[in-house]
Each structure stands twice: as structure tokens, then as C-alpha cells.
Amino acid sequence: MKQNSMYNLIRSVMGLSFNLMFTAAALYRIDIAKLEIYQLILIGTALEIAVFLFETPTGVVADLKSRKLSIIIGLFIIGVGFVVEALTPYFIVIFIAQIIWGLGYTFISGALDAWVSDETQNNNIEKTILTGTQFNKGFAFLGIILAGIIGMYDIRLAIYIAGGLFILLGIVSVIFMKEKHFKKIDHDTHVIKAYFSQLKKGFQHIKNHHILRLMFIAMLFYGLYSEGIDRTFEVHILDGLGFRDILQLDPIWILVIVAAMIELIGLIMIGIVKRYLSKGKYVILWAMQFTSMMVIGILVFAFINQPYIALFGFLFFSFSREATYPLLDTILVKHTPSHIKATVLSTFGQLDAIGQLLSGAIMVGISVSFGLQNMYLITATLLLIPIMTFIKMLRLKHRVS
């Protein structure tokens, strides 16, 4: 199997399984586990604790040992984490499940893009990542529909199937995934010293690179903004905007419709970006424009009293974000050499987790004391910082050219 095809397969199954899980788990947590808003946010905090603790160490392992091995370990652990969540609807079990699958995700984060970057020799890497994202979005749509169909009969079954698909993908990856171009770093020192040496190289590269220094700031604020809205939007759509009563549908299908619309429009947006994207400053320009669209969408979602217009605001925010993150990955991959690529990508993933950890407790306090609207206002305001960093990057690119 060609490794481009393997990459697309992994992204496809991940898109299907994650969206099958997330769509079902949203209703599972709200209607079966009966979690409060602050508990929903704390569930997200548990996930970010795992990413904070393990993101960079697992990235270093991927650079020192094997990206393929790191990815396979991650797939199996995510599958186990999903299964654990569905075992019983108690907050503490759901909390622990996030830590388990969050650990698994850190083995894949950074390693997957670093692996495909090496295996394709960075040839047309923008197109490769965006094509993988298209496959991810297409199968995400299928996962969302499956969540609705299966969830009408048994929400937990949908979660179990999502976990099983990750485990099956892990088995397939053991058999078909190749790693021909990875150059294992030889080290005569103790593994702990080698780890810290690799970590130091990654940080030094970020420190010495103008674009990555600015991305360091941007990724921190992408983490800070997201925790509140990611954990509460389902509650706001179902109860805050009143769509349970407006549509008179089973709640799982309300969430399915919203999620499916996001994925379909996001898929179209990725296609547009892929078609017109050029190298260099245009990647950054697209990222800046989509982030600005995210701000507008959040404000409409929070402050417009008309339910359908507010829902459109959330959709506008969501597909803008779907188009933004592959561009961020492209910027990071293009400005990082192979031998520290997984380390650097994982460092940025950990930075995003730090932002979400810092914002978790803050967003809980704001939502409890001042309501969701003010929490969403803070969320939108935080995104202004990445926009300013992109403006600075464009100026740097202009000077170089």
C-alpha cells in the first residue's frame, strides 16, 4: 500500500470513529450521565491534562524510536479509552476515560504528520495534508450519521463501535504501515539524556525561528479560547436556543444534523483552500482570514436572539475552524526539519493543551458567575491575538521576499 493511501486511510477511520464517538458521547453525557455545565468543561480539562503531561514526551519518543510505533500505540490506547467511557455513566469514569484516550492521542499527534512528511519527502506536503483532511471530513460525515442511527437504539453501542474501529485500525497499521525514510537517531547516552537532548533541540529551533516563535503565541491562544465553547455548545443549541422544542426531534438527531452540516461545509471549504492555496505567505493569509471568520461566528452564536441565525453563527464558526487547523499544521511542518519534526509538532500540541488547561477553570467560573454569553465573548476576544500574530508573520514574509 502506498503511504499516501495509508495516511488517507488513517485520517478516514479517525474521522469516522472520532465523530461517531463525539456525537454519541455529547448526548450520553447530557441526557444519560446528567452532567452539569461545569462538569462538561472539567471533562475537557481531563483530556487536556493528559495532553499536557504526555504530548511532548510522546513526540520525542516518535523522533527517537519510531513514528510508526508511536502511531500504532496511540490507536490502541484511544480505542481502550472510548470503551472505558461507555462502561458506566459516572462522572469520575468519564473523567478517567478522557485521560486514557488523551494519552493515546498524544502518541499520534505530531507523529502522523511527521511520518507522512518523511515518507513523501515533503513533496507537495500541503496537498497531502489537505487531501488527508478531505478524507477525514468525508468519513466524519459518515460517522455522524452512524451515531444518529445507532444512537436511537443504544448510545453506548455507538461509543463501543468507535473504540473498536480504532483498535481495528491499529491492527491494520501493524500490517500495512511502512516506515522507509525515518532515520532513527543514534545515541550513545542514556535514554533519559537522549530524551532531554532531543527536547532541547526542538525548543532551540522554535526559539531561533521567527515564524515558529509567533506560532508559539498563536497556538497558546488557540488553546485558551476553545475549552469553553467546545464543552458547552451542545447544551446551548439544545436548551439555550431551544432547539429541543423548535425541531421536535430526538436530541441525537439534532446534534447529528448540526455536526453533519459542519462536516459537509468544512469539506467544501477544504476543497476551496486546496485548490487556491499557494506556498508561503498565502497559507498564513488564509489562516488569518479563517480565524477572523471564527470570531464573527462565535459572536453571532452568543448574542443573536433568533435561534436559526444564532445556529448559523455556530456553523460559520465551526467550518471556519475546520479550515484553519490544517493550515496551522502546514505552517509548522514546512518550517521544521525532519529530525525534530515530531518533537516540535508535539510541543505545539502541548502548548495548545496548556492553553486549554489554563482556560478550563476560568471558563467554568465565568459561565457559572456571568453566564454563557459572557464566556463566549471572552472566547472570541482571545482569538484576536492569533490574528495579530498572522499579520506579523505576513510582514516578515514580505520583508524576506
> What is the structure's pLDDT at 400?
54
> What is the structure's pLDDT at 183?
67
> What is the structure's pLDDT at 290?
93
- The pLDDT averaged over each successive group of 10 residues in the chain (401 residues) is 82 94 90 87 82 73 79 95 94 94 87 82 75 87 91 91 96 88 59 65 81 89 86 87 88 88 81 65 85 96 94 93 84 79 75 79 78 89 95 78 51
Question: Domain coordinates of the chain in residue numbers?
Answer: 3-178+187-400
Assign 3-class secondary structure to the chain. Answer: CCHHHHHHHHHHHHHHHHHHHHHHHHHHHHHHCCCCHHHHHHHHHHHHHHHHHHHHHHHHHHHHCCHHHHHHHHHHHHHHHHHHHHHCCCHHHHHHHHHHHHHHHHHHCCHHHHHHHHHCCCCCHHHHHHHHHHHHHHHHHHHHHHHHHHHCCCHHHHHHHHHHHHHHHHHHHHHHCCCCCCCCCCCCCCHHHHHHHHHHHHHHHHHHCHHHHHHHHHHHHHHHHHHHHHHHHHHHHHHHCCHHHHHCCCHHHHHHHHHHHHHHHHHHHHHHHHHHCCCCHHHHHHHHHHHHHHHHHHHHHHHCCCHHHHHHHHHHHHHHHHHHHHHHHHHHHHCCCHHHHHHHHHHHHHHHHHHHHHHHHHHHHHHHHHCHHHHHHHHHHHCHHHHHHHHHHHHHHHHHC
pTM above 0.85, yes or no: no
Which CATH number is 3-178+187-400 given?
1.20.1250.20
